[in-house]
Amino acid sequence: MAQQFDTSVPNIARVYDYWLGGKDNFAADRELAAQLTAVYPPIAQMIWDNRQFLARAVGWVARQGISQFIDLGPGLPTSPSTHEAARAVRSGTTVAYVDFDPLVVSHLDALVAKGQDGVVVMAADLRDRDAVLSAPDLAGHIDLSRPACLIMGAVLHFLDAEAAAELAASYTQILAPGSYVILTVGRGDGEVADRFFSMYRAAASMHSHSVEQFATFFEGLEIVPPGLLLAEQWQPDQQHVRPVPKRPGEVLVGVGKVPGPPHGVLAEMTIQRMDNVAIVVDDLDAPTVPNSSARWHSTRASSCSVTSAAPRASSSP
């Protein structure tokens, strides 16, 4: 169901736009953004870290040979957008943007009207997978029999963990082997986070997913190195993950691959938490994110260790 356009009520896409330095926001949005910033001053930097991760991940996926992207909940246009990041690598890349916010859709439409062949914009609720996939614009531009990349940036925290995992799996199931999925969620712990989330509810309800819950959103996927990390930690093809201090708020990110060509085989992966509690997948014969049959263990890490795809890298001590 499409959202209503009402400038008197704070709107999450416009609050994000304010934090990102955009101009497409109104007094109610700026007021809520200011209140949230007062509760947690690093929030604008977190939003930037998320956007920069998305651009890095999209560029990396494009370098794997992917030339079609579906961005669910893209928000108001910010540079680098998904089509800019992907087309910097592969100029002919096709991108489908799907959002239920009329302002987002109209701004993206205006951008496409300026001459972005191969970029389509759809007004749809991402929770209705079948409606999204059967929409003529999407079906006409994205060939789901070929590998594609699905992006859900900072949207799965609007659903509880069970619904988020189900929704992610429902999209993952229809992607061709060799496809990729890029996911991010905002989360937090403690009194500051609780105050932040209760204030945030003026615009949208938000769920703080644990790293273990976030991992369930990748069920059936191989997790691409360097793993499930904080946004600012994820750098493609790196062997060492920069530790970050514990903070009340963070953005968890990750890239998953639908098993199949063309990407390599993953081995050990570390999921790094900011408090240095890691979850390690240690079943090397079953590199996909596990369901009940795979073995997981938690370990307290004094530093993070990452073992990457072939050629195998030595893990850091």
Ligand X SMILES: C[S@@+](CC[C@H](N)C(=O)[O-])C[C@H]1O[C@@H](n2cnc3c(N)ncnc32)[C@H](O)[C@@H]1O
In the complex, the smallest distance separating the C-beta of residue 53 from ligand X, rounded to whole angstroms, is: 9
Q: Does 101 bind ligand X (CB under 6 A)?
A: yes
Asked if residue 224 lies in contact with residue 266, where contact means CB atoms within 8 angstroms, the answer is yes
Stretch that binds ligand X, among 93-101, 239-247, 253-261, 274-282 (CB under 6 A): 93-101
Q: Does 59 bind ligand X (CB under 6 A)?
A: no
**Number of neighbours of residue 283 by Cβ within 10 angstroms:** 13
Q: Does 125 bind ligand X (CB under 6 A)?
A: yes
* Residue closer to ligand X, measured from CB, 51 or 257: 51
CA 244 to chain centre: 20
d(CA 89, CA 72): 21
Q: Does 104 bind ligand X (CB under 6 A)?
A: yes
Give 281's contacts (C-beta < 8 A, 6+ positions apart): 223, 268, 269, 271, 287, 289, 290, 294, 295, 296
Site string for ligand X, 134-153 (x = CB under 6 A): -------------------x
Among 39, 49, 51, 120, binds ligand X (CB under 6 A): 51
In the complex, the smallest distance separating the C-beta of residue 158 from ligand X, rounded to whole angstroms, is: 5
Q: Give the β-pairing of 94-99 and 222-223.
A: unpaired
Residue 248 CB-half CA count within 13 A: 13
Say which residue the tokens 């976030």 belong to.
Answer: 214
Stretch that binds ligand X, among 120-128, 168-176, 267-275, 291-299 (CB under 6 A): 120-128
Amino acid at 178: G
Site string for ligand X, 151-180 (x = CB under 6 A): --xxx--x----------------------
In the complex, the smallest distance separating the C-beta of residue 221 from ligand X, rounded to whole angstroms, is: 19
Among 10, 74, 147, 178, binds ligand X (CB under 6 A): 74
Kindly list the distances between the CA atom of residue 64 and the CA atoms of 61, 264, 269, in Å, as whole numbers in the listed order. 5, 10, 19
Among 75, 225, 254, 287, binds ligand X (CB under 6 A): 75
Q: What residues does 187 pair with on adjacent strands?
A: 250
In the complex, the smallest distance separating the C-beta of residue 100 from ligand X, rounded to whole angstroms, is: 4
* N-to-C CA span, the chain: 50
**Number of neighbours of residue 8 by Cβ within 10 angstroms:** 7
Q: Does 53 bind ligand X (CB under 6 A)?
A: no
In the complex, the smallest distance separating the C-beta of residue 9 from ligand X, rounded to whole angstroms, is: 13
Stretch that binds ligand X, among 25-33, 70-78, 87-95, 187-195 (CB under 6 A): 70-78
Among 60, 69, 100, 214, binds ligand X (CB under 6 A): 100
In the complex, the smallest distance separating the C-beta of residue 204 from ligand X, rounded to whole angstroms, is: 7
Give the number of residues in contact with ligand X, rule: CB under 6 A: 21
By CB atoms closer than 10 A (0-12, 13-18, 19+), residue 195 is middle
d(CA 281, CA 99): 34
Task: Catalog residues that contact ligand X under the rule CB under 6 A.
Answer: 12-13, 16, 50-51, 54, 73-75, 99-101, 104, 125-127, 153-155, 158, 184
